Structure formats: structure tokens, C-alpha cells
A and B are shown apart, each in its own frame.
Chain A
């Protein structure tokens, strides 16, 4: 007999239910997830499972015990760092920043913090980690700064893509939004892209493709138009990085 190991359904994902419950989905995405949940038995089961997890946590590990354990570990430096490629590449500066934050956080924990501002308010964006990556930079005066994850693109902003090709020789970048795909760049991953661009859509994605062979820009546009961002990769050793663009608001 064929045995299912689980996995996402056509429109169902327990992770989506959890993200909805954690307040990570807002606007269109949140409304869509809520509407789906209201009529989907499978996702309602996932929501009930989440409620059971909450009850189990309160019974097995109340906040006071949890906070004391975390504070003790931070103070002792006992917990091992997770195995994550991005960490290993983070370099001494990022590791030093993380370490200084750990110290900053550890001290107030011991004093048992009162409730304060949510740390999640501005965290709707995407940063891709591991392998090849890419970042969006916002031109400010004569210089630039990284566009923060989830940060709305200001009107008339000049954007540039920063490439981190992780050894790939070629790259291509396109914008995909409600009006379809448009090519920004195709060529050398080391020298490009050399041009800034303006984007005036409402919601979209910058799709960056890295490959060891030259990337055909028009063919990339055709794949994006036909199959969306999931069809961006030409296959082989190619890697695809997606960077969301939004104007903010619903």
C-alpha cells in the first residue's frame, strides 16, 4: 500500500497556521490564511494541535522556570551554538555583535523582565541565508544602506542589488510583481549589477538567479511569466534567491 509521510497540502500547511497564530501574517496574506482556516478541517486540526501545545507548555514548563533556565544558560554560556551555515560565515564582527547582545539580554533576564514592546513589529521581510545570497540597498545621498527586511520601499527610491554569488560566475536578476516580470540584469556575478533601479509597483519580488553558466535573461523572464518564482532556476547548479518588495500597508 502507498503510505503518506505527510507534507504540505495544496493550500494547507501547519506552519502557516502557526505563523498566523504568532501574528506573523497580516494584510492580504493574513486574510487569505484566516479564510482558508475557517473552511479547512485539516488546518483546523493543526490549530487545535497548537492549542494543545500551549496547554502542554504551561503545564510542563511555566514561564518562570523557562526564564530561569535561559538566564542560567546565558550566564554560564552553556548552550551550544546551533549548526547553521550562515553563522559559520558570519565572521568575527557578527559573532561579536551576537555575543554582546547575549550579555545585554542576560542581565535583564536575571532581573525578570516586565512586558514591553513586541520585537516582531518590523520583521515581515525576508533575508535569505546560506549558499549564495543577495541584498537590496537603498540609495541615501551619496551612499547607500541595506533595505531592512520588511521595510517598505520609499516612493522614488533608488535601489541596487548586492550580489553574494558564493562562487557562481554568472547572475541574473528580475523584478516580478503584479504586472509580470522585468529583467534588471544578466551577466557576470562578480562585476554586476552596475545599475540602480526604481520600482513603482505595490508588492513584488526581486528574483536573483546564480549559475556557473551564463544565464539567458529573456528565458528567465519566460520561466517567471509561466511558472512564477518557483520556476526561476534553470536547473543544474543554479541557486535562486527571492527578495520581497512592498510599499507597506495591506
Chain B
């Protein structure tokens, strides 16, 4: 048993708000050096356009600076910024919905006409368009950023059952879309995801 002793009747008073520290000098340069490479790569991956990705990176860091207390309190600043980047780019993509089905059709054409199989990340990106909105972020964090289901739950502030449900929803939607575009491909059983 842990070395734990319970103190009966030890209820403490109500806590006040967390103190907010001033932003230190050099913060933006530090953020850029540590995190901007990953954020740019994630934005380019999700948006598929270099100029849109450069704009998105700057938007993401503005959002981070605007919620600096949350950023500094995050267990992992890298994971926190990744979430901001994913959600920002998914919102941008949703605003141009027409691009979603076109990507799956292109991958299907590449395979049938040129024999080129899609890469896993490429396929996940194309399938985001057919997945329910609430499943998209979990799918990117799990399949692309390779967080475990428990880490996705922690990063998104949801429960493990919720993450499993969202990944199942993503795979169910993906299966439906692939039956037409890639009838030969079989996706993993959601119950067997590690």
C-alpha cells in the first residue's frame, strides 16, 4: 500500500485563482525554436498548401500567446500546441469542404491508374473529410501524432471510453468511404487498436 495517511476532517478552504506570471522576454523566440518546426509540418500536412500553412503557424502561435496561462500549465507544451494546430487547421479545412472528397478520389485514381498506394498519413488526411467532426481531432492525434489512447484522453480532457468511441466512429466512417474508393483495403478492427 502507498505510504499514505488520511487526515480526518482536514477539509481545506476554497482555493483562489492561480497566479499568472508575466510573459518572459524571449518567449516568442523560444516558442519558435522549440515548437514552430512541428507546427508548420502539421499545418502543411493538414492544409496541403505552403502559404496557408505559413499563415496557420502564425495564427496558432497568436492563439497560444492569447491563452498563455493554459499553455504554461500544460503537461506537455508540445502536445498542447499540436492540439491547437490540429483544431485550427481542421476549422480552416471545414471552411473549404469541397476539397475533402476530391482528395480521396485523387488517391483512388493514383492507385487504379498508376499503381501508387496511398501512405498511411495521406489516407488518414483524406478520410478526415468523411469522419464526424468530433472524431477528427482524436484520429489525427492517434494515427498521425502517435499518442496512445490514454494520452489522447489526457490531452483532450476526455475519458478513455470517449476516445475509443471517437476512433471507432472514425474507422466506421473510413470503412464506408473506402468500400467505394479502395474496395481491396481492409482497415484494422477498432477493438484491436493498441
Contacts and interface: CB of A to CB of B under 8 A. Distances in A.
A113 interface: yes
A104 interface: yes
A212 interface: no
A23 B142 CA distance: 22
B98 interface: no
Nearest to B12: A144
A30 to B, nearest CB: 13
- Counting chain B residues whose Cβ lies within 8 A of the other chain, the interface size class is 35 or more
Given A61-B57, A82-B84, A195-B8, A9 B157 contact: no
Interface in A79-123: 79-87, 93-94, 97-99, 101-102, 104-106, 108-109, 113-120, 123
The CB with the most chain A CB atoms within 10 A, among B3, B83, B148, is that of: B3
B72 interface: yes
A7 interface: yes
B16 interface: yes
B188 A22 contact: no
The SS class assigned to the B binding surface is: helix
A226 interface: no
Contacts of A148: 18, 73
B112 to A, nearest CB: 15
B161 A15 contact: no
B145 interface: yes
Contacts of B179: none
The CB with the most chain A CB atoms within 10 A, among B5, B70, B121, is that of: B70
A113 B29 contact: yes
A48 interface: no
B150 A66 contact: no
Interface string A225-240: 0000110010111111
A131 B5 CA distance: 30
A239 B159 contact: yes
A40 interface: no
A54 B33 CA distance: 9
The CB with the most chain B CB atoms within 10 A, among A5, A56, A148, A235, is that of: A5
A156 B186 CA distance: 56
A1 B185 contact: yes
Interface in A187-203: 194-201
Interface string B112-153: 000000001101100100000000000000111111101101
The CB with the most chain A CB atoms within 10 A, among B8, B33, B75, B151, is that of: B75
Given A86-B157, A135-B15, A1 B184 contact: yes
Contacts of B7: 158, 195-198
Contacts of A73: 58-59, 62
B124 A113 contact: no
Interface in A165-200: 175-177, 179-182, 184, 194-200
Contacts of A86: 70, 157
A1 B25 contact: no
Given A160-B10, A199-B3, A239-B159, A6 B188 contact: no
B64 to A, nearest CB: 9
A109 B58 CA distance: 13
17 contacts: A2-B186, A22-B77, A53-B41, A66-B36, A66-B61, A70-B62, A80-B91, A101-B66, A104-B23, A114-B26, A119-B30, A139-B12, A160-B12, A196-B12, A197-B5, A200-B4, A233-B159
Given A2-B185, A66-B32, A116-B26, 15 more contacts: A57-B36, A63-B33, A106-B65, A108-B23, A127-B73, A128-B154, A128-B157, A160-B11, A182-B4, A184-B4, A184-B6, A197-B10, A201-B3, A204-B2, A237-B161
Interface of A: 1-10, 12-16, 18-19, 22-24, 49-50, 53-54, 56-57, 60-61, 63, 66-67, 69-70, 73-74, 78-87, 93-94, 97-99, 101-102, 104-106, 108-109, 113-120, 123-131, 133, 135, 137, 139, 142-146, 148-150, 158, 160, 162, 175-177, 179-182, 184, 194-201, 204, 229-230, 233, 235-240, 242, 244
